[in-house]
């Protein structure tokens, strides 16, 4: 098929990760995936949620928001409605679960790392870009903890990244922009680690059901995309 931006079906959009994007957070990243842009920050707090007090374990949690001008028409802030919408809750829980999958909470100690993902421009794949960028911010925050001798054991045990895949015009494609996502017959988000472990799969037959064979093709495509993104993370961090 002829994709909107001329990419091959197995091609990612251009990805850029800028570290130390702001100065106050221990980890601060601007991730750009095509025209989707997200600021991901990580800040350390010396306390844990009530359910973890006295457990000698840390916690990683996330908040996510799309800024009003991130879309073509102004998106109202959650606080103006007096509640967080369901989509926002779902995405921030997904980001938190994804990051917790690659960190040893006991080595983190009784402290919380807050991840904030703020979408400044949306063109599809905001949740997957948030996960990919947030990992780099988390890595920088943990590096700060080690350098400051707050912790003495490295708690991160792997890399994690995410991408979208889907079926559009009956063909499997990777990393859907908004136009492709809005017309896709099948839409899927895949979160995986560098060891090939699956953290989460979110797949939906938007226009029609999909077959097991199509699912396998999408999984292979998504795995390839995640590995490419992890290499980009490593390049940004200087760990490749």
Kindly report the number of other CB atoms within 10 A of residue 202's CB atom. 15
Instruction: Tell me: is residue 76 an annotated ligand-binding position.
Output: no
What DSSP state is assigned to residue 196?
S
pLDDT at 81: 75
Contact between residue 55 and residue 165 where contact means Cβ atoms under 8 Å apart: no
Contact between residue 89 and residue 142 where contact means Cβ atoms under 8 Å apart: no
Kindly report which listed range (43-47, 84-88, 123-127) carries the lowest average pLDDT score: 84-88
Kindly report the number of other CB atoms within 10 A of residue 148's CB atom. 10
pLDDT at 79: 72
Give the torsion sign (CA, 147, 151, 152, 156).
negative
Residue 203: which pLDDT band, with cuts at 50, 70 and 90? very high
* C-alpha to C-alpha distances, 120 to 66, 138, 172, 184, 228, nearest whole angstrom: 7, 20, 28, 24, 24
- Specify which residues 188 forms β-bridges with: 165, 203
pLDDT averaged over every residue in the chain: 95
pLDDT at 85: 82
Q: Which residue has the higher pLDDT, 63 or 85?
A: 63
Return the CATH number of the domain spanning residue range 15-237. 3.30.230.70
DSSP 75-144: PPPHHHHTS--HHHHHHHHHHHHHHHTTB-HHHH-S-EEEEEEEEEE-SS-HHHHHHHHHHHHHHHHHHH
Token reading at 71: 């879309």
pLDDT at 143: 98
Instruction: Tell me: is residue 3 an annotated ligand-binding position.
Output: no
102 φ, ψ (degrees, to nearest 5): -125, 25
Instruction: Tell me: is residue 126 an annotated ligand-binding position.
Output: yes
For the segment 43-77, what is each residue's pLDDT rounded down to a tens digit? Answer: 999 999 999 998 889 999 999 999 999 998 898 88
State whether residue 178 is helix, strand or coil: helix
Residue 108 has pLDDT above 90, yes or no: yes
Residue 126: which pLDDT band, with cuts at 50, 70 and 90? very high
pLDDT at 240: 83
pLDDT at 105: 96
Residue 1 has pLDDT above 80, yes or no: no
pLDDT at 30: 98
Contact between residue 218 and residue 166 where contact means Cβ atoms under 8 Å apart: yes
State the average pLDDT over residues 206-228: 97
Instruction: Tell me: is residue 125 an annotated ligand-binding position.
Output: yes
Give the torsion sign (CA, 232, 179, 200, 215).
negative
């Amino acid at each position: 098929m002829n994709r909107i931006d001329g990419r091959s079906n197995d091609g990612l959009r251009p990805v850029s990760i800028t570290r130390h994007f702001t100065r106050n957070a221990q980890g601060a990243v601007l991730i750009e995936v095509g025209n989707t842009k997200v600021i991901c920050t990580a800040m350390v707090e010396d306390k844990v949620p009530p359910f973890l007090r006295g457990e000698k374990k840390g916690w990683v949690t996330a908040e996510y928001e799309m800024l009003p001008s991130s879309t073509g028409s102004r998106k109202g802030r959650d606080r103006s409605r007096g509640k967080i919408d369901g989509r926002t809750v779902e995405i921030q829980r997904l980001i938190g679960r994804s990051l917790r999958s690659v960190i040893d909470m006991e080595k983190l100690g009784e402290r919380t790392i807050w991840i904030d993902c703020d979408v400044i421009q949306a063109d599809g794949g905001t949740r997957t870009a948030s996960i990919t960028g947030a990992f780099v911010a988390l890595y920088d925050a943990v590096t700060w903890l080690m350098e400051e001798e707050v912790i003495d054991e490295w708690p991160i045990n792997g890399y994690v990244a995410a991408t979208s895949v889907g079926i559009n015009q009956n063909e499997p494609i990777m990393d859907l922009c908004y136009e492709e996502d809005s017309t896709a017959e099948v839409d899927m988000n895949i979160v995986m680690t560098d060891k090939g472990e699956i953290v989460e799969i979110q797949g939906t037959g938007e226009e029609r059901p999909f077959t097991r064979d199509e699912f396998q093709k999408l999984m292979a495509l998504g795995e390839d995309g995640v590995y490419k993104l992890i290499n980009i993370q490593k390049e940004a961090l200087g760990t490749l």
